[in-house]
Amino acid sequence: MGRHIVGSVSEVPPGGRKIVEVEGRSIGVFNVHGTFFALRNRCPHEGAPLCLGLVKGLTMPSMPGEYVWARDGEILRCPWHGWEFDILTGRTICDPERIRVKTYPVTVDGAEESAEGTDGDHESSIPPSVETFPVTTEEGVIVLHL
Ligand code: FES
């Protein structure tokens, strides 16, 4: 499994997406409420660029006259014919057991790491004559695994 850095966390805020080319495949990386998911950018119906579609929610089963909106930001609608996919699993809403789009694992590396040489447990191992400075990594990077 290859490891591919696709960008910094700040490039894809919650509700955002970034489409990347990795190993000859177009892949959409989505930030859904702070968690990253990756889907192949090819609809299994007729091959549309699925990851360009509208991100939305679902109207849930409810009583007549009631409209219950849920899962906002978790559903991707294909731009060509409107098939809907669960971004979290890649499965279609209409036939989740049979039809799905390929998904890929995504991790975030290097988030909020910091080191301070003059404070904490490490102080005793540093000679007193050495001046140290705090080092902070402000943001992580999004890593796609395929
Ligand atoms: S190509 Fe996606 S729904 Fe038809």
Q: Mean pLDDT score of the chain, rounded to an integer?
A: 86
State whether the beta carbon of 83 lies less than 6 angstroms from ligand 1. Answer: yes
C-alpha to C-alpha distance for 106 and 146, rounded to whole angstroms: 9
- pLDDT bin (cut points 50, 70, 90) of residue 118 is very low
In the block, which residue shows the tokens 């910094």? 8
State whether the beta carbon of 80 lies less than 6 angstroms from ligand 1. Answer: yes
Ligand 1 center–CA 37 separation, angstroms: 20
pLDDT score, position 50: 98
Ligand 1 mutation target, pool 40, 45, 77, 99, most atoms within 8 A of CB: 45
pLDDT score, position 16: 96
Is this prediction's pTM over 0.85?
no
Whether the pLDDT of residue 133 is over 80: the answer is no
Q: Are 6 and 16 in contact (CB under 8 A)?
A: no
Q: Mind listing the pLDDT tens digit for each residue in 76-116?
A: 999 999 999 999 999 999 999 999 999 999 999 875 444 44
State whether the beta carbon of 85 lies less than 6 angstroms from ligand 1. Answer: no
pLDDT score, position 112: 47
Q: Residue-wise over 44-70: b if at least 16 C-beta within 10 A, else e? A: beeebebbebebeeeeeeeeeeeeeee
State whether the beta carbon of 94 lies less than 6 angstroms from ligand 1. Answer: no
Ligand 1 center–CA 136 separation, angstroms: 45
Average pLDDT over residues 19-34: 95
State whether the beta carbon of 72 lies less than 6 angstroms from ligand 1. Answer: no
Give how far the C-alpha of residue 141 lies from the chain's centroid of Cα atoms, to the nearest Å: 11
Ligand 1 center–CA 36 separation, angstroms: 23
Whether the pLDDT of residue 26 is over 50: the answer is yes
pLDDT score, position 137: 47
Q: Which residues contact 46 (CB under 8 A, 6 or more apart)?
A: 80, 81
State whether the beta carbon of 101 lies less than 6 angstroms from ligand 1. Answer: no
Q: Which long-range contacts (CB under 8 A, 24 or more apart) does 11-18 make?
A: 11/142, 12/36, 12/142, 14/73, 15/55, 15/73, 17/51, 17/55, 18/142
pLDDT score, position 7: 92
- pLDDT bin (cut points 50, 70, 90) of residue 140 is confident
Strands 25-32 and 141-145: unpaired
Q: Which value, in Å, is the radius of gyration of the alpha carbons in the chain?
A: 21
Average pLDDT over residues 24-38: 96
Looking at the DSSP assignment, which residues form a beta bridge with residue 70?
58
